[in-house]
Each structure stands twice: as C-alpha cells, then as structure tokens.
C-alpha cells in the first residue's frame, strides 16, 4: 500500500509543478476560493463567491488564470494583489474582470515576481471589484496544490 501511495504522489507532482533537478519549482498551479467574507477592507459582497485557478511560470515570466465570480454585480476590475490574509496590498497582476461570471487570460510578469508567487503563494490574493464594492466584492488567498509529505521517522 505504501509503495502505491508513493507512486501516486510521484505521478501527481509533475502535473502540478515543474521542478528543476535541484528541486527548485519553476511552474506551479495555484487556486483560491473567493468570498465576500474575506474582503479587506470589508464588508465585501456577502452573497458573492468565486474561484481562481492561477498558473505561474517563472521561466517564461507568465501568469495565466481562470477566474469565476457568482452572486455579485458585474465586475469592473480584478487583480492578483501582494498581501497576507487580512491585509491590503498593491495589485501586482491585472486580470480580466469576470463578466458576466468568467474570465481567463495570461499576463507577462517579472521573473522575480513569478518566483515570489511560487515560493510564497499565501502572500498573494485574488480580488474582484465592482461598482457596489469598489474596494473588494470578493477575495481569496492563493494556495498551492502541491503538498509536501511530512517527514516520517525511520523504523
């Protein structure tokens, strides 16, 4: 059973990230669940929800996204911002607003920013704005889909 789990993990990691031989991650898929409850400064749109799937490629300096928003008035702007949970930070990647409910696209970014997003995804968030909530209708912190196995003591 343990060997099967290791093989499954080994098959999943390349699908979610591209790593160099030294273990440095060069591409990574990030996700976020957006809600009005997470909006800072609040309040956001408490009826609003959304999802973001973000693919960061440090080698090419590209960030690509799929963004969904539901239960909010038409979006006027969307961004990836630098900022920890509960804080407000500057926008670093403009996203196409999800009108009526979905958008996708890619943007060129500085390789250093892409590397920072890969190394510390939790320090970035996706924010969707609209006329009723110009500061933030819905928001969600980014997180990596790659989980690192915990070290187990040798027997």
- Identify whether 54 is part of a domain: yes
- Identify whether 74 is part of a domain: yes
- Identify whether 10 is part of a domain: yes
pLDDT band at 24 (very low <50, low <70, confident <90, very high): low
pLDDT band at 145 (very low <50, low <70, confident <90, very high): confident
Q: What is the CATH number of the domain that holds 113?
A: 2.60.40
Predicted TM-score (pTM) of the model is: 0.80
Number of domains in the chain: 1
Written in H, E and C, the secondary structure of 52-71 is: EEEEEECCCCEEEEEEEEEC
Domain with 101, as residue range(s), is 2-144
- Identify whether 125 is part of a domain: yes
- Identify whether 102 is part of a domain: yes
Are the C-beta atoms of 89 and 83 separated by less than 8 Å? yes
Rounded to whole angstroms, the Cα distance separating 88 from 12 reads 34
Query: What pLDDT, on the 0 to 100 scale, is given for residue 111?
Result: 93
Give mean pLDDT, residues 35-47.
95
- Identify whether 114 is part of a domain: yes
Query: What pLDDT, on the 0 to 100 scale, is given for residue 16?
Result: 45
| Predicted confidence (pLDDT) per residue in 63-106, tens digit | 999 999 999 999 999 999 999 999 999 999 999 999 999 999 99
């Amino acid at each position: 059973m343990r060997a099967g789990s290791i093989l499954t993990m080994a098959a999943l990691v390349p699908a979610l990230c591209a790593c160099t031989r030294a273990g440095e991650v060069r591409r990574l898929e990030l996700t976020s669940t957006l809600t009005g409850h997470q909006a800072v400064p609040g309040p956001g749109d408490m009826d609003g929800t959304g999802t973001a799937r973000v693919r960061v490629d440090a080698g090419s300096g590209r960030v690509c996204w799929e963004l969904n928003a539901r239960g909010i008035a038409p979006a006027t702007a969307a961004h990836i911002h630098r900022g920890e949970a509960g804080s407000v930070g500057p926008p670093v990647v403009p996203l196409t607003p999800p009108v009526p409910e979905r958008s996708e696209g890619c943007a060129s970014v500085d390789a250093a920013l892409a590397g920072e997003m890969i190394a510390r995804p939790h320090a970035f968030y996706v924010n969707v704005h609209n006329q009723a909530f110009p500061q933030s209708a819905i928001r969600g912190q980014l997180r990596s889909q790659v989980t690192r196995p915990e070290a187990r003591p040798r027997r």
